[in-house]
Homo-oligomer: A and B are copies of this chain.
Amino acid sequence: MNYEDLMKKFGIAPIDAKLSERIRKDAGDLHFMLRRGIFFAHRDLNWLLDEYEKGNKFYVYTGIAPSGGMTIAHLLPFIMAQWLQERFGAEVLIEIPDEEKFLSGKDPRLTLDRTKELAYADALNIAALGFRPEKTKMFLTTEYAGALYKQAVRVSKHIHFSIIKDAFGWENDANIGKIFYTSMQAVPAFLKSVQQGKNVPCLIPLGVDQDVHFRVARNAIDKLGYYKPAIMHSSFLPSLKGGAKMSSSDPDNTIYLDDSPQVVTKKVNRAITGQQSSAQLQKELGGDPSKCAVCQYNRYIFEPDDSKLNDILNGERKGTLLAGEHKKDLAMKINRFLEQHARRKEKIDLESFMLRD
Contacts and interface: CB of A to CB of B under 8 A. Distances in A.
A173 B154 contact: no
What is the size category of the interface that chain A forms with chain B?
Answer: 35 or more
Contact of A150 (B142, B155, B157): B142
Interface string A90-130: 00000000010011010000001000000000000000000
A187 B176 CA distance: 15
A343 interface: no
Given A99-B150, A102-B153, A161-B161, A183 B173 contact: no
6 contacts: A112-B150, A142-B153, A152-B177, A161-B161, A161-B172, A177-B180
A156 B174 contact: no
Contacts of A142: 149-150, 153
Contact of A176 (B105, B146, B148, B161): B161
Interface of A: 99, 102-103, 105, 112, 141-150, 152-162, 164-165, 172-180, 182-183, 357
B173 A161 contact: yes
B177 A160 contact: no
Contact of A173 (B156, B162, B173): B162
Contacts of A157: 102-103, 105, 175, 177
Q: How many subunits of this chain does the assembly comprise? A: 2
A58 B23 CA distance: 63
Nearest to A144: B146
A162 B183 CA distance: 20
Nearest to A140: B150
A139 B285 CA distance: 73
Contacts of A141: 149
A144 B149 CA distance: 9
Contacts of A164: 176
Closest 6 pairs (CB-CB, A-B): A156-B177, A146-B146, A145-B149, A180-B180, A146-B357, A162-B172
Contact of A103 (B156, B173, B174, B179): B156
Contact of A99 (B153, B159, B357): B153
Contact of A153 (B158, B177, B182): B177
B162 A175 contact: no
